[in-house]
Amino acid sequence: MDALFLKNIQSLNLELSGLNKIMVDIEKTIDENISTFGELQNHIETQRQSIKEENTLKNYPSGAQGSVFFHNVMSNKFDLFDINHLNKITRFFTYIEKLEDQYASLYSKATTIYHKNPYDQSISDLYSVYAKILDSYHLLFLLIVEVDGDQLLYHQVFNKLEDSGIFLTLNEKILLDTMAEISGKLTEIIKSVKTQISVSNETNRLLLQSIDALNRLTSDINYLSSDISSIGYNVSDMQSEIWGLSQVKTS
């Protein structure tokens, strides 16, 4: 009876051990499937975003050459512009041309990478630069059209561009950067000076405490002078020695 019971226990242990192994294998398979499902989900989402960006990029031109068109239009009105205004608007042209070059570079990169990585920074940068180009074209168009038309609108547009800093020369831009750098250094200098003032104030406080202590010591010496006169010691000599030692300590 005991042998049969023991045999049944052993058999049950073997069966449980087998079931445990099966459970471990099942859990491992589930984990692998979850990981595979997550990767598949990410892949599907990437493909969905890639298709979205592809459809969006189809609406964008491969290049922007509006500056050439506006240059030809403006050439017929050069004599209508104040020379100072004309020089500044020329800088606006340069700004637009740089945006156009930047756009061409971004378009080339974005249209080759969107299917692999639709979240690449070049794609969002492309959309941003394109919006800037459209705004610049619109403002430049108003300047050209209204130079001999609505003078109030012309000057409003011109002043807004001037306030934005677009008309600044390279040296002026460098000067602004330098001034910002100098301003930062001045802030550091002011902080340093404040620290030195704080240290100086503390030093003055300690010095006043030392002088006060020496004055009290002198008072004590004068008070004791009558007691030491009987031994023939000159009080003024004692004060001289005390002050002399004090000067050595404080020098």
Question: For 71-109, how does the pLDDT look when each residue is reduced to its tens digit (9 = 90+)?
Answer: 998 888 889 999 999 999 998 898 899 999 999 999 999
Q: What type of residue is 39? A: E
Q: Which of 39-48, 106-115, 163-172, 236-245 has the highest mean pLDDT?
A: 106-115
User: What is the rounded radius of gyration, in angstroms, for the C-alpha atoms of the chain?
Assistant: 43
Alpha helices in the chain (DSSP H): 2-57, 66-74, 83-113, 121-146, 151-164, 170-228, 235-250
Phi, psi (degrees; rounded to nearest 5) at 150: -75, 100
Residue 198's pLDDT band (boundaries 50, 70, 90)? low
pLDDT at 7: 62
Distance, in Å, from the CA atom of 222 to the CA atom of 231, rounded to the nearest integer, reads 15
**What are the tokens at 101?**
């070059």
Of the listed ranges 15-29, 51-65, 86-100, 189-203, the least confidently predicted one is 189-203
Q: How far apart are the first and last CA of the chain?
A: 107
In terms of residues, how long is the chain? 251
Quick one: what percent of the chain has pLDDT higher than 90?
25
Distance, in Å, from the CA atom of 191 to the CA atom of 177, rounded to the nearest integer, reads 21
pLDDT digits 0-9 by tens, 130-169: 998 988 888 899 899 999 999 998 998 899 888 888 888 7
pLDDT at 39: 75
Is 80 exceeded by the pLDDT of residue 13?
A: no
Quick one: what percent of the chain has pLDDT higher than 70?
63
Asked if 36 and 107 count as a contact pair (C-beta separation under 8 A), the reply is: no
The CA angle 104-108-112, to the nearest 5 degrees, is: 165
Q: Which of 139-148, 180-189, 216-225 has the highest mean pLDDT?
A: 139-148
